[in-house]
Amino acid sequence: MSLRHLIGPRAGALAVAAVAATATTAALLPPLTASAATPAVTAVTEDGYDTAPAEAAAAWLTAQLAEGDGVLQTSYGPNTSATVDAGRSFYYAGDDEAVAAVTDAVEPLAASYTGDNGFGTLVSAGGTAKLLTLVQYAGGDATSYGDVDLVERLEGQVTVDGPAEGRIFDTFDPENEFAADYANGFGQAFAVEALNSAGSDLAPLATAFLLEQQCADGGFRLYFSDPAAADQSCDAAGGEGSTDVTALAILALLDQSADEVNQEAILGAVDFLAATQGDDGAWGDGGEIGANANSTGLAGLALGVLGELDENPAGIGFEPEAAAAWLRQHQVNEIASCRSQLNGDQGALAYDDAALAAGRTDGITEDTTYQWQLATAQAFPALQWTLAAEGRPGMRADSGRQRSGGTMSVLVAGLAPGETGCLVGGQQPVFVTADLDGQTTATVRVPVGTALRNLYLGTTGRSSVKISYWSLAAKRFGLTSTATVRQNGQVAVKVSGLAPGEPFTLSYHGRVRGTGKADANGRASFAFRGGSTLGRWEFAIVGQYADRFVKSTFTVVR
């Protein structure tokens, strides 16, 4: 049974969240320099979602598949598992043609992927279950797929008696040192979905065992107990939930959600994901696996699908949108002015911060292709909940005058959550990535030399934004002043060579005697009282920075 019959219009939670984010930005940044209105290049749905990120990821993945005649390739050969992940993701993205194409391409590999893989595994329960879900999505004949009856093969890998009843297991060669029973929570979730969809008599057993893997925290664990253990539950083993398995368990149980026990399990899983999502919208998977695209994509997809159900029964809020924003932050979207080694891989999803940084420096290499392919294959459908920008991009610097060769802080706003932009006009172009509110602060290195300079913000599909600023190098100002004054007389001063609007201070005899700002031509004229003490006195005028100054003297006479 397809999940699509469950999906209906969303409730109002998204609209409220989006309005709140926009209001915050507007209140913080009224003076921003903003771009002129530009028609959107990409499509925006009625719910305010930007379709471009998901489309770009799907296009990159499709190109990767095409390079391998429909199967993702790495330096180690065909990556059948990630290809099946890609097909499943195309299903959740609503691309039936792509699902069919992947299913056709993988069919010749069905026997080796689910059976003897040459490394000691004779039947892979998890691989069989995952592939079976894909064939079911495509509407294919799973009983005769690549000369394999996937339903029968999977049913043969389900424990039918004993304490581990319902548990899937791998068949392996005990003489092979690399072989073992690798069955885990991923495969169990796939098996529940596949067996239920096939109408198998073993579906209830597999489902009951999956429910035993739900931990006290609401999450579903990855690894099973020993098959001989009397109590197979997560709680008996003191286990903890896994983000990835929990997300897959939600999707697996959806078609059985009319059952109250399954409903409670889904709601507990939702609570677990909501509690473990980071403030930045991302998920890791346990204490040792930090925020990453695979976990964030799977969790975002599961919650996003739940949130699309009529009347939003699980009470899903902003979590899918936050997850999509984090994914967009890690998606290749290289603006032309911020070139990197990833410019030829637009749309791909990086696994994490380190992978994106390394990719921009080194590109996607033979050693990292697998990680990029798997991250994109598993995560891209969660980009369907990427919010579009509601305003225009804008920015402002912390000052209109900056130290030559120093750094300036630039506040950028009006971007879509997670959107990438490019700042040009400093010593080097700078990538900027918006947070959940569509804004960020960037550090730009100021070019050397005194000049009026422009800083540009570039984004995809909209006009660039420009602000102007002065970079100020060390300088000795021009000066004319009264050379001799009587006691308490006025010393007239004319200064030139300042930057327009540059502030300055005048001091002598250890005290500040006056302040001012240069006019539009960088000049200033003023006078100060020379005092009553006879003699020659030195005074100094200092501009924005201590190395921009001029010194002179005046003499007080009777």
Task: Going residue by residue through the chain, which has 558 residues, state the pLDDT in tens, using 9 for 90 and above.
Answer: 333 334 333 222 222 222 223 332 222 233 445 544 433 446 899 999 999 999 999 999 999 999 999 999 998 899 999 999 999 999 999 999 999 999 999 999 999 999 998 889 999 999 999 999 999 999 999 999 999 999 999 999 999 999 999 999 999 999 999 999 999 999 999 999 999 999 999 999 999 999 999 999 999 999 999 999 999 999 999 999 999 999 999 999 999 999 999 999 999 999 999 999 999 999 999 778 999 999 999 999 999 999 999 999 999 999 999 999 999 999 999 998 899 999 999 999 999 999 999 999 999 999 999 999 999 999 999 999 999 998 899 999 998 999 999 999 999 999 999 999 999 999 999 999 999 999 999 999 999 999 999 999 999 888 889 999 999 999 999 999 999 999 999 999 999 999 999 999 999 988 898 999 999 999 999 999 988 899 999 999 999 999 999 999 999 998
What DSSP designation does 343 have?
A: G
Same topology between domain 394-472 and domain 475-557: yes
For the beta carbon of residue 340, count every other beta carbon within 10 angstroms.
Answer: 19
Kind plus residue range of the DSSP H or E element containing 432? strand 430-433
* Neighbouring-strand partners of residue 317: none
Domain boundaries of the chain, sorted by first residue? 394-472, 475-557
Strand pairing report for 535-542 and 121-123: unpaired
- Angle between helix 52-67 and 80-92 (nearest 10): 150
Asked if 384 and 400 touch (Cβ cutoff 8 Å), the reply is no
For the beta carbon of residue 99, count every other beta carbon within 10 angstroms.
Answer: 24
Strand pairing report for 401-403 and 462-472: parallel
- Measured between alpha carbons, how far is 539 from 508 in angstroms, rounded to an integer? 4
For residue 212, report the phi and psi dihedrals to the nearest 5 degrees.
-65, -20
For residue 281, report the phi and psi dihedrals to the nearest 5 degrees.
95, -5
Give the number of C-alpha atoms closer than 13 A to the C-alpha of residue 28, restricted to the C-beta side: 17
| Each residue's pLDDT tens digit, 351-388 | 999 999 999 999 999 999 999 999 999 999 999 999 99
Q: Six-digit token pair at 535?
A: 């003699």
Architecture of domain 394-472: Sandwich (2.60)
CA nearest neighbour of 424 among 416, 432, 414, 433: 432
Q: Is the dihedral of CA 249, 255, 256, 259 positive or negative?
A: positive
User: Span 475-557: which CATH code?
Assistant: 2.60.40.2470
